[in-house]
Structure 1
């Protein structure tokens, strides 16, 4: 799959959402079903063995997940404070920061010549942990300023992530022949769902984009960069090889921002969903560019070794 399909399509749909708010805004109720579809599709590409493989990469996995839930929430809060974002936008930044690894990270890791097995394990582990940590961390960091219904968020996370993921894995385990015929189409379905969510959220925030658009874009770019840089440098500092470092970088920097969008709209406001919508666009752009750079670097190094 071409790495640039994600960012190009995401940018196009964001532009459509902004240009045609009357078309996309009424589709607000589709956000949660679309997210469930993405998680179901992800589950249908995994097996029970993917879960057991987590225990074969304990040290790298522990580092990646720790950075995921330490760096990204702190970076989200820090950037919000530095740019003096209001309470609604801060809530949106924190929801992004406390999310699990993004659904596109496994594809980007593959294109970047990273360790795909580790990427899948990290995504799985952070997704399962986020069911508890996402509402907990959001409440700990901003609960005093913004009411955070942690219990309700926890219930929704189970419905939106854990249940469809488990159903997908079960289908792939017990009806593999049928699912195998569908797997080639699953990436396209996920891309379609993600970019439609982006278009809907941009449409819902049509009136806010001009007011806070550039500030939020800068905040999101800084937040994403913090995850990518800290993930890579943290892994290298602890002695992991280049492939592992690339994988941890991508996993930490790419968030499941679609989930943060769904929760922001339900529990906060359309404005709170804006950071997640912009993050959905930008992390695919930065991930695709980084994957292209690392892939070309690997190819160049491979040629030099042959010489």
Structure 2
């Protein structure tokens, strides 16, 4: 009985996200004070993911290096190009255009791992893609920013790597270890972890909205439209190109989420440091919107069963496929 209740709660988490976000916008003072919860809650979610994963999941990803390469390449091509196109179409002022393009040149964000988990995508692949895009961000982000804006930026790669290590890698490894040694004991409560993740991400979104309520009020519809278009092009481009290249449904979902969800926190920090406070607005608004759009997308995909055919039986194109384990 409780399993059905938990599943129903998890399936409705986009609704909870909208409701609590509305409350946070109207009463930001009750949420803005709790920014310190974001990192611990993300770590808690990652721990829960690790408990539901296995070492074989990551070994399977390592058997598909071409998919990791493709996902990383799409991360650093689709989003910068999408940002540039959005700026041209909307004729954004220089400061806002710099912020949107800088956002597009950033690596994937850790929130993508949570959304992949809730969307029944390949969580192990998502974590690997986030780690790889973060690892090469010290080269990719400054170079792409220079290409599209003509301005160089400095990226604190060590700070980013430490953040990913603390928030993602360590909790996931701990969860994997718990699952490995106590698999039978935790099998009875495994169903509770998606519900915990859903509740945690809803709270995180509300805290972000409460913290940025002033930015939302003054950003205007133009910035919001730019952010929505940018995020939508990333999600659609990641999914569409993956399906065109005949990747599996699970892989396509994962890459779409990974490409569409940026490290907006890095974008805000770099914009403030190298440009203006106005340039930081797109990143701040994006941090809200991509969580909401990701929540709705995960809610939609979580209701759809995934039946991926054996990749080894597909015709091989461009060496993109290798046989899945399991």
TM bin, normalised by shorter chain, reads 0.7 to 0.9
Q: How do 1:294-305 and structure 2 match up within 5 A?
A: none
2:123–2:254 Cα contact (<8 Å) kept: no
Q: Tell me the secondary structure at the aligned position of residue 103 of structure 1.
A: helix
Separation in structure 1 between the aligned mates of residue 183 and residue 23 of structure 2, nearest angstrom: 37
Tell whether 2:101 aligns with 1:98: no
Separation in structure 2 between the aligned mates of residue 77 and residue 154 of structure 1, nearest angstrom: 27
Task: Compute the RMSD of aligned alpha carbons.
Answer: 3.5
Separation in structure 1 between the aligned mates of residue 38 and residue 260 of structure 2, nearest angstrom: 12
Q: Tell me the secondary structure at the aligned position of residue 190 of structure 2.
A: helix
Tell whether 2:195 aligns with 1:180: no
Distance 1:212 1:102, change over 3 A: farther
Q: How do 1:210-229 and structure 2 match up within 5 A?
A: 210-229=217-236
2:131–2:164 Cα contact (<8 Å) kept: no
Structure 2 unaligned regions, length at least 5: 1-6, 309-326
Query: Could you tell me which of 274, 294, 308 is aligned with 1:283?
Result: 294
TM-superposed CA distance for 1:65, in Å, is 4.1
Q: Tell me the secondary structure at the aligned position of residue 263 of structure 2.
A: helix
Tell whether 2:41 aligns with 1:31: no
1:131–1:158 Cα contact (<8 Å) kept: no
TM-score, with structure 2 as normaliser: 0.72
Distance 1:251 1:68, change over 3 A: farther
Tell whether 2:96 aligns with 1:86: yes
Separation in structure 1 between the aligned mates of residue 189 and residue 39 of structure 2, nearest angstrom: 22
TM-score, with structure 1 as normaliser: 0.76
Separation in structure 2 between the aligned mates of residue 82 and residue 10 of structure 1, nearest angstrom: 30
Q: How do 1:152-171 and structure 2 match up within 5 A?
A: 152-171=159-178
Relative to its length, the structure with more helix (as a share) is 1
2:126–2:255 Cα contact (<8 Å) kept: no
Report what 2:237 is aligned to.
230
Q: Deviations over 1:84-108 (max 9, x none)?
A: 2627843773476533644222432
Tell whether 2:254 aligns with 1:251: yes
Report what 2:16 is aligned to.
9
Report what 2:125 is aligned to.
122
